[in-house]
Chain A
């Protein structure tokens, strides 16, 4: 029973444009949400997070939006750069950290 879902397995975007990654969750007890980035043959690295009491958090080119009523969060990357090509995992936390299946982002030159 996967409580965190990323329904788009892949996303292709042109360099300079916006990348939008989506994530849905089912457990209303989740109180902290995170995005991780993963390159091949490396462990995931933390990208950005948001507390359940907020609806937006920004860090440079990365913005995470949280819609608690819809149990939905999204990650916006603007502008997208070739180095952003990676797998992005959405994660949610309540006593333990649960991950989605990941979205592979490819940024085209």
Chain B
């Protein structure tokens, strides 16, 4: 039972570099989310998707782009990394938003130097 898998688990980037974080879920969930966790800030929603081919902005979308070309995958891209994007990133998926919980991946620790 893989659930939600994030790749990579750790990454160090130089300022200005780009990268893509991959999230894959095997539960056939419609909804997928990207959050970032920072000390004292909790989990803040970056972008989310309510189904294949759809994306929407969350609370802190600036500097990030996402794509949901396949139902099971949700990609988070950083086009030009900044030190302020140093964080732990979590992907989650759920079947809906009512009477159902979201399942989280293990997280990706990203450091931008």
A: residues with CB less than 8 A from B are 1-2, 6, 9, 31-32, 34, 36, 41-46, 49, 51, 89, 91, 93-102
Contact = CB atoms under 8 A, between A and B. Distances in A.
A43 B107 contact: yes
Contact of B42 (A34, A45, A102): A102
Contacts of A93: 97-98
B104 A45 contact: yes
Contacts, number: 70
Interface of B: 4, 31, 33, 35, 40-45, 48, 50, 56, 58-59, 90, 92, 94, 97-99, 101-107
Given A9-B40, A99-B35, A51 B4 contact: no
A44 B104 contact: yes
A79 B38 CA distance: 30
Contacts of A34: 101-102
A99 B102 CA distance: 12
A96 B42 contact: no
Given A42-B106, A46-B101, A46-B102, A96 B43 contact: no
Closest 5 CB pairs of A and B: A43-B104, A101-B42, A99-B43, A46-B101, A93-B97
